[in-house]
């Protein structure tokens, strides 16, 4: 690729921030993948399963405790440019009040909650504490993303990931039984430390605790989106919870292992989205629709290529990350990757709904998809086992993508994309998956196809970059 073209790309704030957010996200998540071989050896499949179920419920508890106010960060950056710090400190104080209320409820009804979520009462309290302090960290990082302050984001993300990993290994190694406490304990301790520091910093900068203007603004956006956020968590994670309940924690551990491998594509999307959303909001505000349409086309193309690569190399990644007791989950990984691919696709039209503040449509679509997933899991998991969870997730995300695509056309007059790039991406990922399952046991042929395809795609990318340089 032309060096001048690379320099031109890097001058773009979207590309530059995207690169560094990607590096930071991959480093943080990369640590979790690098250490997976350690944790799969230190923890039994049952301990691994309990940890997976805990992290699933953590997302639910965090959303309920904080009323989904994390979703307001990007909108507030546009609407309160000069008072952004005030908004942040005020929202954090509001969430503090909610957290205190839920902590009291948790202590009073911990036994009842424990029986509902199938985790012990100690973990119930842990969920509330980590939900609050983890939100502070996530809110602070989201604010840094919106402000393109990727250096501070990198510092927080990388240092916390390293400390978390080291502490987890120490705690697990010194616990004789119920070793999942070591993994969960490290998450809570790190969230407490970083959350406290970031909370103090936010309060000093914003110097605003009570503001009904900011609270009303945030709640008007977040409350209608709570159903969407909770349904999203259910849609993404209900498989693990239902497998744990219907088959057992060991099966849930194997499925969690497969999901962590498949999550590589989700991590790619997460990193890209951190740069994409602020850029998308700014360009929507400036009505640069043609530029957005062009970027979406290449966004889908590059993401499809990444999905193809990950599907074809997933067996080797899985064998590297886990022991033989987890290998049963390797067949789930490509299916999980496909599910995450459709999650990426639906996020593109869904961003229009967030931008226009039409969150009521978000909630309805995600609720329908989550209910579909739950019902299908209830019917199919007892009959076909854990693999059914991956298939039901794919079906649910396809429905969600089609729903959001239709809604985005209804709520916004300007067509900032067409269906053709989505159709090409879907066709590409489906064909890649079919070919993979045909040749998966012949690694020579599999990697031959992978290399040949990348050579052809590399040639096409070179032609595209040449055309862009001429513009």
Name which of 234, 224, 230 is nearest 356 in CA terms: 224
Q: Parse the chain into domains and list their residue ranges.
A: 3-470
**247: pLDDT strictly greater than 50:** yes
How big is the chain by its Cα radius of gyration, in Å? Answer: 22
Contact call for residues 323 and 41 (beta carbons, < 8 A):
yes
Crossing angle of helices 387-411 and 333-355, in 10° steps, is: 20
Choice between 231 and 431, residue whose per-residue pLDDT is larger: 431
Enter the pTM of the model.
Answer: 0.69
pLDDT value at 6 more than 50: no
For residue 338 the two structure tokens come to 């496909």
DSSP 330: G
What is the rounded average pLDDT of the residues 439-464?
Answer: 82
Question: Is the confidence at residue 469, as pLDDT, over 50?
Answer: no
pLDDT of residue 423: 93
Q: Are 265 and 58 in contact (CB under 8 A)?
A: no
pLDDT tens-digit readout, 319-354 = 877 777 777 888 888 999 999 999 899 888 888 887
Mean pLDDT of 406-411: 84
Task: Round to whole Å and give the CA distance between 449 and 133.
Answer: 46
Q: What is the pLDDT of residues 37-53, one digit of tens each?
A: 777 778 777 887 788 78
Q: How confident is the model at residue 5 (pLDDT cuts 50, 70, 90)?
A: very low
Q: What pLDDT is attached to residue 466?
A: 52
Collect all residues with Cβ–Cβ distance below 8 Å to 217 and sequence separation of at least 6.
72, 76, 79, 80, 87
Per-residue buried b or exposed e for 249-282, using 16+ beta carbons within 10 Å of the residue's own CB: bbbbbbbbbbbbbbbbbbbbbbbbbbbbbbbbbe
- Among 265, 302, 282, 268, smallest CA distance to 14 is for 282
- Please name the residue that has the structure tokens 């998966």: 440
Q: What is the mean pLDDT of the chain?
A: 82
Alpha-carbon gap, residue 111 to 125, rounded angstroms? 11
């Amino acid at each position: 690729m032309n060096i001048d073209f690379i320099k031109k790309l890097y001058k773009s704030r979207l590309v530059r921030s995207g690169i560094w957010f990607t590096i930071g996200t991959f480093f943080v998540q990369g640590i979790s993948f690098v250490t997976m071989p350690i944790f799969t050896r230190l923890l039994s499949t049952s301990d691994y399963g309990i940890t997976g179920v805990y992290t699933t419920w953590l997302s639910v508890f965090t959303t309920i405790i904080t009323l989904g106010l994390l979703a307001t960060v990007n909108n507030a950056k546009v609407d309160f440019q000069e008072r952004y710090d005030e908004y942040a400190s005020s929202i954090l104080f509001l969430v503090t009040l909610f957290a205190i209320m839920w902590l009291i409820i948790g202590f009073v009804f911990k036994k009842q909650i424990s029986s509902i979520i199938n985790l012990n009462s100690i973990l119930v309290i842990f969920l509330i504490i980590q939900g609050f302090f983890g939100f502070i960290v996530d809110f602070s990082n989201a604010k840094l993303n919106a402000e393109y302050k990727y250096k501070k984001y990198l510092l927080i993300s990388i240092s916390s990931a390293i400390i978390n990993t080291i502490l987890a290994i120490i705690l697990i190694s010194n616990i004789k039984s119920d070793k999942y406490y070591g993994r969960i304990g490290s998450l809570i301790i790190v969230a407490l430390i970083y959350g406290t520091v970031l909370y103090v910093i936010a309060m000093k900068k914003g110097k605003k605790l009570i503001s009904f203007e900011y609270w009303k603004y945030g709640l008007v956006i977040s409350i209608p989106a709570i159903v969407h956020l909770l349904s999203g968590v259910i849609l993404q994670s209900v498989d693990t919870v239902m497998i744990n309940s219907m088959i057992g924690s060991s099966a849930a551990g194997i499925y969690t292992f497969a999901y962590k491998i498949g999550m590589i594509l989700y991590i790619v999307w997460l990193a890209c989205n951190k740069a994409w959303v602020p850029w998308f909001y700014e360009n929507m505000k400036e009505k640069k629709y043609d530029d957005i349409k062009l970027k979406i086309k290449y966004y889908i193309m590059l993401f499809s290529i990444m999905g193809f690569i990950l599907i074809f190399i997933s067996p080797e990644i899985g064998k590297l990350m886990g022991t033989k007791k987890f290998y049963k989950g390797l067949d789930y990984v490509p299916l999980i990757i496909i599910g995450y691919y459709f999650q990426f696709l639906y996020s593109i039209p869904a961003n229009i709904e967030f931008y226009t503040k039409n969150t009521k449509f978000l909630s309805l679509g995600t609720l329908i998809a989550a209910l579909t997933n739950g019902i299908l899991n209830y019917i199919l998991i007892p009959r076909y086992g854990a693999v059914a969870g991956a298939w039901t997730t794919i079906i649910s995300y396809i429905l969600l993508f089609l729903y959001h695509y239709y809604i985005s056309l209804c709520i916004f007059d300007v067509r900032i994309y067409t269906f053709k790039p989505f159709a090409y991406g879907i066709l590409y990922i489906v064909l890649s998956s079919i070919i993979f399952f045909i040749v998966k046991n012949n690694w020579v042929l599999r990697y031959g196809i992978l290399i040949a395809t990348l050579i052809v795609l590399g040639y096409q990318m070179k032609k595209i970059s040449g055309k862009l340089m001429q513009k």
